[in-house]
Amino acid sequence: MLLRLSLFRIFESLPTILGVVTLVFFLLHLVPGDPVDALLGENAMAADKEVLRKSMHLDQPLWSQYTQYLGGIAQGDWGKSIISQRDIWGLITERLPATALLAGSSLFLALLLALPLGALAARFAGKSQDKAAMTFSLLGVSIPNFWLGPMLMLLFSVLLGWLPVSGMEASGSLVLPTITLGTALAAVLSRMARASWLDSMQTDAIRTARAMGVSERTLWWKHSARMTAIPVVTMFALQMGAVLGGAVITETVFDWPGLGLLTIEAIQGRDYPLVQGCVLLIALFYVSANLLADLLNLWLDPRQRSR
């Protein structure tokens, strides 16, 4: 049953991926600007522009370019960069380790902050501890990365001189990008943990256990924690996808040489194939994170297997 449902969920994700690829392809070609002008300059001779346009197949109808692109993706060929003429998959794999490092450290920080804060807020709901934890959560959700990042740089790099401003070569360069990206994720997770913990404490199972004399400590940290784990694990899996979206902004702010910065550089250079490749990988990661969340739900909650 579980295997059948898992395969069905995987099959359901395929139209989503195709839709993302299609949407990105056509939207990019509607963006003002010409990659030929970006390469040769606006003052280049018309004959030179035409030769370059034909060599990049940009003279073909848009539908023909689209079908060729889909055919290449189906065969594992992501194309070549217009600007560097390098294989797109090679360019992406060069940047992936930096993004994986930032994403992993940010998710770890999010868990490190969110679970204790969520548990504290739920255990002391309505009290000062709850208000303090939820104030942090509100700030984390409200403050955008493109503002928090420069403020952290101004404080810890410019004024105090404790940490490097940008890049990833210097010691401690991972700290500020991790805080910028991880605090926003922690804010969402902590609110989910609090709400889930309080909801689980109101279930009939907990009431029955309390009536049978089970201690409050056991109710909170054993029985209720198990029920809380389902939505929290689901949200964490979804956050794994969201972390790449946040990495685009964070990597740009800190000049972190990852996939997010590569995407911005490709957009600025009108490098259509490279943008499509970066967005496709981010979309695949999103879909995989959603699929992982579904599978974890099926595994943790047997009731969903009968739906």
pLDDT in tens, 72-88: 887 877 888 877 878 88
Radius of gyration of the chain (CA): 24
> Is 251 buried (19+), middle (13-18) or exposed (0-12) by CB count in 10 A?
buried
Q: Is the pLDDT of residue 2 over 60?
A: no
pLDDT over 70 (residue 303): no
Spell out the domains of the chain, with CATH numbers in brackets: 2-74 (no CATH), 91-306 (1.10.3720.10)
Q: What does 262-302 look like in DSSP terms, one character per residue?
A: HHHHHHHTT-HHHHHHHHHHHHHHHHHHHHHHHHHHHHH-G
pLDDT, one tens digit per residue, over 137-165 is: 888 878 888 888 889 888 888 888 888 88
**What is the pLDDT at residue 163?**
86
Q: Is the pLDDT of residue 307 over 70?
A: no
pTM of the full predicted structure?
0.79
Can you tell me the distance from the alpha carbon of 53 to that of 39, in angstroms, rounded to the nearest whole number?
11
- Here the tokens at position 129 are 């501890």
Three-class SS of residue 133? Answer: helix
* C-alpha span between 165 and 167 (Å, rounded): 7
> What pLDDT sits at residue 33?
66
The DSSP secondary structure of 171-203, one letter per residue, reads TTTTHHHHHHHHHHHHHHHHHHHHHHHHHHTTS
What's the pLDDT tens digit per position in 9-64?
677 777 887 888 888 788 777 766 666 666 666 667 777 677 777 776 777 787 88
pLDDT tens per residue, range 186-209: 888 888 888 888 888 777 777 887
Give the 3-state secondary structure percentages of the chain, helix then strand then coil, rounded to 5: 80, 0, 20
Of residues 235 and 186, the one with the higher pLDDT is 186
Give the C-alpha separation, 210 to 30, whole Å: 62
